[in-house]
Amino acid sequence: MLTSFCSRSWLRARLQDVERCTTSAARPRHARLPPPHSLCTVEQDPQSLYSYVQQGANLLVVLSPDLSEFWRDFAREFDVDFDDRGHLAIDHFSYASELDDGSHTTLLLSLADAPTPFISPATRAGPPLLYRGTTHAVGRLPLLTNILHAPSTGYSYDANGEDAPTDDLYLSGSTGGLVSALQAKNNARVSFVGSLDLFSDTFAEAQVSMSGDAASVRSGNTAFIADLTRWTFGESGLLKVDEVRHARVNDGASAELYRVGDELVYSIDVSAFQDGSWRPYLADDLQLEFTMLDPHLRLPLSASSAEPAVSTTASRFSARFQAPDRHGVFTFKVDYRRAGWSFIDEKTVVSVTPPRHDQYERFITGALPYYGGAASVSIATVGFVVLWLLQ
């Protein structure tokens, strides 16, 4: 894998810190920053780099407005379409006047609407971000999330162009993505950033004013980059299953074979890795499927306080149900996919069988009409025989 380097010591130091962090699973990591002033020789095509992601690699791709067609094609593999070369995000209302050259391309962006867990609550509540770079269109791929977009008053255009922007702009307002991230089905992560200056020392150390506050503070670039790199390289937004258990309610016995009509309980312990430590995962949207080809039952998994999890860093979710009146091979399935969190795909196979011959009820209330019919025929037959013999 050929990686290009740019002369930004601040970013290199932070990426080295990221590499030293321990994660739950070893995964290849690469930060690709095409240098603006040097020639970058790439030995592979976008499809081979895409295959590298399919193998489980994490990528942080930082691009400049003069990005090559190679990176444009690579981004399209993930439904991210960058604007024309040389086009920048422009906003005549939300810009940093101290750092701007008059083109209004140095945007001052609030992080209050950045999604969790990509960006931490502390960063969202902190100072705004400085951004100068290109924009991209975010497609409808369900695995793709737009983390940061242009303000409603912004648009993408050639800042050096002499012509005024027209009404048919390709990207304007919040449709112009600035930072987007994708998590593949194999939990590999790819982040796209359209600004090299976002990672610069100048922007990181610049003083900005928060809304409604006359005092100046350092920009939120440092905290934003730290959160983005942690998420991209698998150091935040992780979910793991600590334990899965299923059993009959009456005796608490776990088995691989259950009877039709058994009352069953299923529980799963889930932990979340965020802010450097494992902690209980809090959610109300987990679901359990009891399926045989198609789901026979789909039930909500609710947090269980009566049955604590095996670990203090996990939350237990459970559901109770009755085994359906259908015998065969069933699967307990929890398929949980939420933006920013690593996916959970937990499956447990069990068999559901009909009762043995000595396990059926001896008297069935629903069969009373048949019992009555058989008894009436028997009584009528005996009465007929008696009357025949007495004649």
CB-based contact 158:88 (threshold 8 Å) = yes
Same domain, 71 and 202: yes
Cβ atoms of residues 272 and 299 within 8 Å: no
Whether residue 345 is predicted with pLDDT greater than 70 in this model: the reply is yes
Please report the sign of the dihedral spanned by the C-alpha atoms of residue 48, residue 51, residue 56, residue 62: positive
Residue 244 lies in a domain: yes
What's the pLDDT at 5?
33
Residue 375, in any domain of the structure: no
Distance CA 22, CA 191 (A): 20
Task: Indicate whether 164 belongs to any domain.
Answer: yes
What gap in Å lies between CA 303 and CA 283, rounded to an integer? Answer: 8
Give the model's pLDDT for residue 239: 96
293 vs 329: CA distance, rounded Å? 9
CB atoms within 10 A of CB 310: 12
pLDDT of 371 strictly over 80: yes
- Euclidean distance between CA atoms 286 and 142, whole angstroms: 18
Q: Are residues 326 and 223 in the same domain?
A: no
Q: Do you know the residue count of the chain? A: 391
CB 288, CB 316: distance < 8 Å = no
115 & 247 share domain: no
Share of the chain above pLDDT 70, in %: 84
**What's the pLDDT tens digit per position in 228-283?**
999 999 999 999 999 999 999 988 888 889 999 999 999 999 999 988 899 999 99
Give domain status of residue 300, yes or no: yes
**pLDDT tens, residue by residue, 319-337:** 999 999 999 999 999 999 9
275 plus 140 within the same structural domain: no
pLDDT in the model for residue 34: 52
Name, in order, each residue with C-beta under 8 angstroms of 96's C-beta and a sequence gap of 6 or more.
Answer: 106, 107, 108, 130, 206, 208
212 and 263 assigned to the same domain = no
Vertex 50, ends 44 and 56: CA angle to 5°? 115
366 inside domain: no
Q: Is the pLDDT of residue 196 over 90?
A: yes
Q: What pLDDT is attached to residue 219?
A: 93
Counting beta carbons within 10 angstroms of the beta carbon of residue 133, is it exposed (0 to 12), middle (13 to 18) or buried (19 or more)? Answer: buried
For position 134, what pLDDT does the model report?
94
User: How confident is the model at residue 170, as a pLDDT?
Assistant: 81
Q: How many domains does the chain have?
A: 2
Q: What is the pLDDT of residue 342?
A: 95
CA-CA distance, 180 to 165, in Å (whole number)? 25
CA distance 157 to 150: 13
Q: Is the pLDDT of residue 12 over 70?
A: no
Query: Is 263 found in the same domain as 223?
Result: no
Q: Please indicate, yes or no, whether residues 289 and 192 belong to a single structural domain of this protein.
A: no
Domain assignment present for residue 347? The answer is yes
Q: Which stretches does DSSP call E strand in 249-338?
A: 257-259, 263-274, 277-280, 287-292, 294-300, 302-303, 315-322, 328-336
CA nearest neighbour of 352 among 325, 372, 333, 374: 325
| Residue 355 pLDDT grade (very low, low, confident, very high; cuts 50, 70, 90) | confident
The pLDDT score that the predictor gives to residue 163 is 62
Average pLDDT, the chain: 85
Over residues 36-64, the pLDDT tens digits come to 433 344 456 788 888 889 999 999 999 99
Q: Looking at the structure, do residues 55 and 203 belong to the same domain, yes or no?
A: yes
User: In 3D, which of 228, 219, 231, 232 has the Cα closest to residue 107?
Assistant: 219
Domain range for 167 is 31-233
Q: What is the pLDDT of residues 141-173, one digit of tens each?
A: 999 999 999 999 999 888 776 665 666 678 888
According to the model, what pLDDT value does residue 30 have? 55
Q: Do the domain assignments include residue 378? A: no
* pLDDT value at 376 more than 70: yes
CATH number at residue 324: 2.60.40.1930
Do residues 282 and 228 both lie within one domain? no
Question: What local confidence, expressed as pLDDT, does residue 41 receive?
Answer: 43
Q: Is the per-residue pLDDT at 346 higher than 80?
A: yes
The whole-number pLDDT of residue 101 equals 86
| pLDDT band of 308, cuts 50, 70, 90 | low
Domain end point (choices 233, 248, 280): 233
Higher pLDDT residue, 100 or 228? Answer: 228
| 336, amino acid identity | Y
Among 130, 179, 173, residue whose Cα is nearest residue 150: 173
What's the pLDDT score for residue 23?
A: 36
Both 244 and 219 in a single domain? no
Note whether 209 and 226 are same-domain residues: yes
Last residue of a domain, one of 233, 253, 275: 233
pLDDT, greater one: 219 or 2 = 219
Task: List 129's β-bridge partners, or say none.
Answer: 109
Is 382 inside a domain boundary? no
